Structure 1
Amino acid sequence: MEERKILWLALILYMTTAPVYCRYYSRSVPYASSRKKVSKLHFFFHDRISGKNPTSVLIARPNITKDGKSQELPFGSLFAVYDPLTIGPEPTSGVIGHAEGLYVMSSQDVLTLVTYLDFGFTSGKFNGSSISVFSRNPVTEKERELAVVGGRGKLRMARGFVELKTHFTNETASDTIVECHVTVIHH
């Protein structure tokens, strides 16, 4: 009986001291900033809603009318995107990747999108790498800025910004060419 009491006492003592020695985290160490790189990228993307081979497709649309008339692209419209990234603004310019993602019409008064795009590169120095952009995009402004929130491959853990400038718009066909200047900090 005495041995049993000693065993229970040892077990209780062990259980009360165990949490002192175990943690769910490891020791914090300073981040090695010397491993960070800054890259600047310049390219164009071509967004075509019209024509035989559109690169942006309406995938959901709310049933909203305004003053008894249906809006062409109402608040809440959602698009899937697969835009080519090119070296120059010409549609025949060399393709270096694609912008894949979604954008949603997010404003009821001024044409504004909430944009999620993954710029995936298929050639050059960053072949096989990508950066992820998620931000508000006020497309009626000629120049605007989007946030880089991540990356993979050679652009792993990227952060930074993309300066967008509308290069060309055909409003009747809803086609746009956008110039991108990217500044990204990565590993």
Structure 2
Amino acid sequence: MHDFSNGPNASAIVVAHGTGPLLGGSKDRRFGDVVVMDDTLTEGPNTTSRALGRAQGFYIASSSISSDPTLHVSMDLVVTSGPCSGSTLAVTGRDNVLAPVRELPVVGGMGRFRMATGYVLMKTVNWHGNDVLLELDVYVHA
């Protein structure tokens, strides 16, 4: 999952600036920031890897403790290739961004994933400024 806030191809845009404390290590992200995303999901970590879908939704800087940068994430994983193309998974939950692995619940889906349950394990692969590359391992019961 390529979540880029910088450059001409930004996929994550701050739509509301929070007024709380800065998040740990950040120069411009604050408690209360709301970011809308339309991130590319690829098979591998390179932007040139085969595209599998999109992660569309938002996240909110939800912790007021600067040493505990935590987000509330609400996103749809939209599959754009393969036999599940056009299907989506709804994911929402707490993302403690400094944890090596975070678990977010799958709370539903559409298409081939109608009434799905499961979870997503999220790992940070690379984090530079506000640009983040995440690895998502998705486990679904449909």
TM-score (norm 2): 0.91
- The alignment status of 1:80 with 2:13, answered yes or no, reads no
The 5 Å alignment of 1:83-122 reads 83-109=39-65, 110-122=68-80
- The alignment status of 1:167 with 2:93, answered yes or no, reads no
Gaps of 5+ in 1: 1-44
State the one-letter code of the partner of 2:31: F
Structure 2 CA distance, aligned partners of 1:165 and 1:180? 7
Identical-pair percentage: 37
Q: Secondary structure at the match of 1:154?
A: helix
Greater C-alpha radius of gyration: 1
Note the aligned Cα RMSD (angstroms): 1.4
* Residue-pair matches, total: 136
- The alignment status of 1:141 with 2:103, answered yes or no, reads no
- The alignment status of 1:61 with 2:14, answered yes or no, reads no
State the one-letter code of the partner of 1:77: D
Structure 1 CA distance, aligned partners of 2:119 and 2:74? 13
- Aligned partner of 1:150 in structure 2 is 108
State the one-letter code of the partner of 2:34: L
Q: Deviations over 1:55-107 (max 9, x none)?
A: 100000134478xxxx7211111010000000111111011110000100000
Once the 2 structures are TM-superposed, how far is the Cα of residue 185 of structure 1 from its aligned partner?
0.6
Structure 2 CA distance, aligned partners of 1:120 and 1:142? 25
Q: Secondary structure at the match of 1:148?
A: strand
Which structure 1 residue ranges, 4+ long, deviate > 2 Å from structure 2?
A: 62-66
Structure 2 CA distance, aligned partners of 1:62 and 1:113? 13
TM-score (norm 1): 0.70
State the one-letter code of the partner of 1:80: V
More strand by share: 2
Gaps of 5+ in 2: none
Structure 2 CA distance, aligned partners of 1:112 and 1:77? 11
